[in-house]
Amino acid sequence: MASDQECDEVDVFSCMRERRSIREFTDEAVSDKELYAILEAGTHAPSAGNMQAREFVIVRSPEGREAVAATTDAGITSRGTVLTQRWVSRADVIIVICYDRRRMGARYGDKGRTDMSKLDCMGVAQNMMLATTALGLGTTCVIGFDAGRLKDVLGIPAELTPLLLLPVGRPAVQPQQVSRLQVEELIRAVR
């Protein structure tokens, strides 16, 4: 996988506004260079104590992607639409974001093995999603899968816990805007 990047610099605020969950993809491949840029963006995410609990499993083969999709279950969007998650297999590559609970656990105990490791992965996922948008690619953060079954089908070692899937591909559609609560609606108190 190439490490040299020639990605255009894109304003982060534009990426945050433009990012949408993408669940339909064209047949066009994601290049090694693009994939590396997305993974590298993940490495820049903050991490409690800089323990960097995150590790990635990359699934590129059609059989592997089918096997991952078979471990998914239905999710529900903010608009209440029930989804099957078979679409996951139609992405060109699936990034499985895992954490090694021993890393944060060694320093922070139970909270490190649970909350802190999961938050570490979410920061990684957000960086990767913004990088995906910046590259003109699409993805969705997916938590609707059976982690135990996924470990079995991908042969993920016992010490790793898969938390999120990022199926990445070239968007086949431009999804509609979703409604967002405004800042004023989210500020509960100013003290």
Ligand X SMILES: Cc1cc2nc3c(=O)[nH]c(=O)nc-3n(C[C@H](O)[C@H](O)[C@H](O)COP(=O)(O)O)c2cc1C
Q: Which of 122, 101, 129 has its CA nearest to residue 22?
A: 129
Cβ-based nearer residue to ligand X, 31 or 126: 126
21 binds ligand X (CB under 6 A): yes
Cβ-based nearer residue to ligand X, 79 or 191: 79
Minimum gap (Å) between residue 166 Cβ and ligand X: 10
5 binds ligand X (CB under 6 A): no
Alpha-carbon torsion angle 80, 13, 167, 142, nearest 10: -40
Cα(74)–Cα(11) distance, rounded to whole angstroms?
34
119 binds ligand X (CB under 6 A): no
Count of residues that interact with ligand X, criterion CB under 6 A:
15
Contact (CB, 8 A) for 89 and 66 = yes
CA 117 to chain centre: 15
Cβ-based nearer residue to ligand X, 141 or 147: 141
Contact (CB, 8 A) for 112 and 105 = yes
50, 61, 78, 182: which one contacts ligand X (CB under 6 A)? 78
CA 61 to chain centre: 18
Strands (E), 42-143: 54-59, 75-76, 82-83, 93-100
Among residue numbers 153 through 182, which ones bind ligand X (CB under 6 A)?
Answer: 175, 178
Cβ-based nearer residue to ligand X, 50 or 177: 177
26 binds ligand X (CB under 6 A): no
51 binds ligand X (CB under 6 A): no
54 binds ligand X (CB under 6 A): no
